[in-house]
Amino acid sequence: MRKLLYVLTAVMLLMVQWAHAAGPEFRSDHPERYTVVKGDTLWDISSRFLDNPWYWPEIWHVNPQVANPHLIYPGDELALVYIDGERRVTKVARSSNGVTKLSPQVRSTPIDTPVPAIPLDAISSFLSKTRIVTPEELEGAPYILEGEDSRIITGAGDTVYARGEAESDKLGVFRRGQRYVDPDTQEFLGLEAKSIGTGEVTDTNGEVLTLELKDTQEEVRIGDRLLEIEDRKINTTFTPSAPDTEIDGTMIAVDNGVTQIGQYNVVTVNRGTREGLKVGDVLAVFQAGNQVRDPYTKEVLQLPDERAGLMMIFQTYDKISYGLILKAQRALAVGDRVGNP
């Protein structure tokens, strides 16, 4: 009976600790007011108020006395207020005589913000161009034969010839990228088609396409593939949030193949919509603990994983996702585990 009591007490303590951790935690040095400046991101702003910025949607209070109360712009003043005894952050309204107005009502409305959630210049090429495809989709696409005057390397403004059937006059130029395989199960997760540039079909002669290159990020080469340009708008409205499901995954790649991963590096995670990940989800990055030898028993023990960073998911596919490292206490690496923050 005493053992049972101990077990129940321990469970209750764990539940209390979990409940405390599963909510917004304000920083001890949070401001009472903050004026949004040019260059701020929603992550920057929420990090000024919260130790766990992914709970920002839970503390955001819509003030109906201001124009566009759910929009945040540079120059807006945000204030910490108390609503029914709970701390909230709201946008300040000022009347013509300069008196501040704050609403006493609570309205739950998504934040649709011109202030981006994260730095868009770090991820724009992934949102608008680079994509995950099947090998069959890439291998069945038209491909570059050569450039005008038999050139093997071409760029923006050049004319190239390709072979295949184009479904549209406006095409993207892609190069076969990394083939993603789950490191634990060896399941094939997807093939990255890396965006090289765009072009427009100016003539068709049987299977041969004449293509004018409009813009390029890299030199276009023989064998590069042509895919129809997707109508994908860059999403600037997603907000940091905790995942709805339990996530246990791994960082399996990093953009540009750097060995040490830090803030604003783009990484690939072996989890996607299939596992419940959605755009805006924040994940913690964990580094494996060291193995140590017990000085007395000589046993080799595995120390627990340590949280070493935070990332936000900005693009999801069925089996994999792209994320942006927002915070790194130390250099991260491919193979580090990711999970709920």
User: pLDDT (tens digit, 9 = 90+) per residue, 119-132?
Assistant: 887 887 677 678 89
**Tokens 């069925």 correspond to what residue?**
318
Task: Give the C-alpha separation, 126 to 267, whole Å.
Answer: 11
Task: At 249, list the tokens.
Answer: 């995954």
- What is the pLDDT averaged over residues 109-138? 78
* Coil, helix or strand at residue 196: strand
Sign of CA pseudo-dihedral 85, 87, 89, 94: positive
- What is the pLDDT averaged over residues 41-68? 82
Task: Give the C-alpha separation, 330 to 270, whole Å.
Answer: 22
CATH (domain of 287)? 2.40.10.410
pLDDT of residue 122: 80
Regarding whether 107 and 128 lie in a shared domain, the answer is: no
pLDDT of residue 225: 97
Cβ-in-10-Å burial (0-12, 13-18, 19+) of 14 comes to exposed
Nearest to 53, CA basis, from 63, 64, 41, 65:
41
- What is the pLDDT averaged over residues 227-253? 82
pLDDT of residue 60: 85
Q: Which of 108-112, 197-201, 330-334 has the lowest mean pLDDT?
A: 108-112
* DSSP for residue 231: -
Q: pTM of the entire structure? A: 0.78
Structure confidence at residue 23 as a pLDDT band (50, 70, 90): confident
Q: What are phi and psi of 271, to 5 degrees?
A: -140, 145
Q: Which residue has the higher pLDDT, 235 or 325?
A: 325
CATH (domain of 154)? 2.40.30
Residue 172 has pLDDT above 70, yes or no: yes
- Tell me how many degrees the CA angle 329-330-335 measures, rounded to the nearest 5: 115
pLDDT of residue 91: 86
pLDDT of residue 235: 57
pLDDT of residue 203: 95
Chain centre distance of CA 188: 22
Task: Give the C-alpha separation, 235 to 100, whole Å.
Answer: 32
pLDDT of residue 182: 96
CA count, 13 A, side-chain hemisphere, 85: 0
pLDDT of residue 62: 67
Structure confidence at residue 13 as a pLDDT band (50, 70, 90): very low
Q: What are phi and psi of 72, to 5 degrees?
A: -120, 125
State the total domains in the chain: 3
Residue 4 has pLDDT above 70, yes or no: no
Does the residue 185 lie in any domain? yes
Residue 187 has pLDDT above 90, yes or no: yes
Regarding whether 183 and 83 lie in a shared domain, the answer is: no
Does the residue 240 lie in any domain? no
Spell out the SS3 assignment of 97-152.
CCCEECCCCCCCCCCCCCCCCCCHHHCHHHHHCCEEECHHHHHCCCEEEEEHHHCC
* Coil, helix or strand at residue 11: helix
Q: Which residues of 146-179 are buried (b: 16+ CB within 10 A; e: fewer)?
A: ebeeeeeebbeebbbbbebebeeeebbbbbbbee
* Domain extent for 11: 2-115
- What is the pLDDT averaged over residues 221-232? 87
Does the residue 14 lie in any domain? yes
Residue 105 has pLDDT above 70, yes or no: no
Look over the chain and give the mean of its residue pLDDT values, rounded to a whole number.
Answer: 84
Residue 231 has pLDDT above 60, yes or no: yes
- What is the pLDDT averaged over residues 52-63? 83
Does the residue 233 lie in any domain? no
User: pLDDT (tens digit, 9 = 90+) per residue, 24-44?
Assistant: 899 999 999 999 988 888 899
Regarding whether 282 and 183 lie in a shared domain, the answer is: no
Regarding whether 262 and 204 lie in a shared domain, the answer is: no
Does the residue 262 lie in any domain? yes
Structure confidence at residue 56 as a pLDDT band (50, 70, 90): confident
pLDDT of residue 332: 94
Sign of CA pseudo-dihedral 253, 255, 258, 262: negative
Structure confidence at residue 22 as a pLDDT band (50, 70, 90): low
Domain endpoint, select from 89, 115, 141: 115
Residue 322 has pLDDT above 70, yes or no: yes
Structure confidence at residue 117 as a pLDDT band (50, 70, 90): confident
